[in-house]
Amino acid sequence: MITAKPLSSQQNAANGPVRWQSLWRDAIRDPRELLDLLGLPELAARVSDAAAAQFPLRVPRGFVARMRPGDPADPLLRQVLPLDDEDRVVPGFGLDAVGDREARGGTGVIHKYEGRALLVATGSCAVHCRYCFRRHFPYGEETAAANQWREALDYLAADPTVAEVLLSGGDPLSLATPKLAEFTQALAALPHVRRLRLHTRLPVVLPERVDAELLDWLAALPQQVVVVVHANHAQEIDAPVAAALAALRGTGATLLNQAVLLRGVNDDAATLAALSERLFEAGVLPYYLHQLDRVAGTAHFEVPENRARTLHAELAACLPGYLVPRLVREVAGAPAKLPL
């Protein structure tokens, strides 16, 4: 029998707030511990040990605290629990659904679209999302920070058409702030790079990551900064997350959200509308609603394209245009995300 730790381990009364790295390390990694915490031990029979071995469960306790105890259909739980649905082999669902390997521009550099280059800064994430399109990516060989950013910076220096650099991953904010600053200090020497974009789920799943050191670093960057966060359901955005987002906005960064359309998580118009409303309250504009990338082990999350279009039309009918994210699919080799 696993002894579950309390959900309220975000604060250490004796020592004050615990730094984000401790919370990171304290993440839940055992599906059965997670299910015990939520009062759902019977769901353990549906956990896939094979899926958990290939892509382990990882979820911060603060994110678990936003799940509804006793609800096996909780939309946050569905995003992180490795179920036997993942063991099904479904034709059309492969290992590299979005053509990342073909677009490789150097160690950790993916250069797909004109004017922008993406750095796979690190393979680490605070949470492991079961639908992740990079769950099979060979991070061992392919992270830009691994060689002190040298190869990535050489690549960017050699291509003056790159006006925007995206730090992605994994989650780039899983790197310590001094490691990020090491990169941006060198990047400042490349005048053709005018914008820095961060793709991160950390402010949502572990808002303690947005600490004073991170905010100081962001506020001092010479480039325009765009932070694209990732939330799929309004339930993910509680008061600490909203405070973290407000602090990020206070640095002058533009905040956008990308979500993935996921069966059983957010595939109805009311849920999507609530997400847009909650994001806007927190100062974030809904940017993309992604059709699921067809990655092995994720077929049970797919929403058929016709249904996705209908949902998007329903959303457009009930929200102002600026709260309607663009419904897109990424197609390997295409020059941009394709609107549906």
> What crossing angle do the helices spanning 305-318 and 269-281 adopt, rounded to 10°?
50
Q: Which is nearer to ligand SF4, 56 or 160 (CB)?
A: 56
125 is in an annotated binding site: yes
Conformational region of residue 338, where left means phi above 0, alpha means psi within -120 to 50, and beta covers everything else: beta
Q: The tokens 């602090």 sit on which residue?
A: 247
Sign of CA dihedral 80, 84, 90, 95: positive
According to DSSP, the residues that pair with 24 across neighbouring strands are none
Token duo for residue 163: 């006006």
Asked if residue 142 binds ligand SF4 (CB under 6 A), the reply is no
Site string for ligand SF4, 298-327 (x = CB under 6 A): ------------------------------
User: Is residue 93 within 8 Å of residue 85, measured between CB atoms?
Assistant: no
CB of 325 to ligand SF4, least distance (A): 16
CB of 130 to ligand SF4, least distance (A): 8
Q: How far is CA 51 from CA 179, 248, 251, 276, 303, in A?
A: 32, 35, 39, 32, 21
- φ, ψ at 11 (rounded to 5°): -125, 145
CB of 196 to ligand SF4, least distance (A): 18
Q: Which is nearer to ligand SF4, 127 or 193 (CB)?
A: 127
Asked if residue 132 binds ligand SF4 (CB under 6 A), the reply is yes
- φ, ψ at 50 (rounded to 5°): -65, -45
Asked if residue 134 binds ligand SF4 (CB under 6 A), the reply is yes
Conformational region of residue 192, where left means phi above 0, alpha means psi within -120 to 50, and beta covers everything else: alpha
Find the binder of ligand SF4 among 34, 125, 180, 323 (CB under 6 A): 125
CB of 132 to ligand SF4, least distance (A): 3
- Of residues 202 through 261, those in contact with ligand SF4 by CB under 6 A are 230
According to DSSP, the residues that pair with 192 across neighbouring strands are none
The one segment of 36-44, 120-128, 213-221, 247-255 that binds ligand SF4 by CB under 6 A: 120-128
User: How many residues in total does the chain contain?
Assistant: 340
The one segment of 68-76, 149-157, 165-173, 212-220 that binds ligand SF4 by CB under 6 A: 165-173
Strand order in the sheet with 164-168: 104-106, 109-110, 116-120, 164-168, 195-199, 224-229, 254-260, 285-290, 326-329, 338-339
Asked if residue 170 binds ligand SF4 (CB under 6 A), the reply is yes
CA–CA distance, 303 with 38 (Å, rounded to integer): 27
Q: Which is nearer to ligand SF4, 134 or 233 (CB)?
A: 134
Tell me how far the alpha carbon of residue 309 is from its chain's centroid. 23
The one segment of 85-93, 114-122, 127-135, 276-284 that binds ligand SF4 by CB under 6 A: 127-135
Q: Which is nearer to ligand SF4, 201 or 312 (CB)?
A: 201
The one segment of 32-40, 122-130, 239-247, 283-291 that binds ligand SF4 by CB under 6 A: 122-130
318 is in an annotated binding site: no
Asked if residue 82 binds ligand SF4 (CB under 6 A), the reply is no
Asked if residue 67 binds ligand SF4 (CB under 6 A), the reply is no
Asked if residue 127 binds ligand SF4 (CB under 6 A), the reply is yes
Q: Which residue, among 175, 67, 68, 65, has the nearest Cα to 119 in the 3D structure?
A: 175
CB of 15 to ligand SF4, least distance (A): 28
CB of 82 to ligand SF4, least distance (A): 12
Q: Which is nearer to ligand SF4, 267 or 269 (CB)?
A: 267
CA–CA distance, 315 with 272 (Å, rounded to integer): 7
Q: Which positions lie near ligand SF4, rule CB under 6 A?
A: 125, 127-129, 132, 134, 169-171, 201, 230
- Binding residue positions: 125, 129, 132
- Binding residue positions for [4Fe-4S] cluster: 125, 129, 132
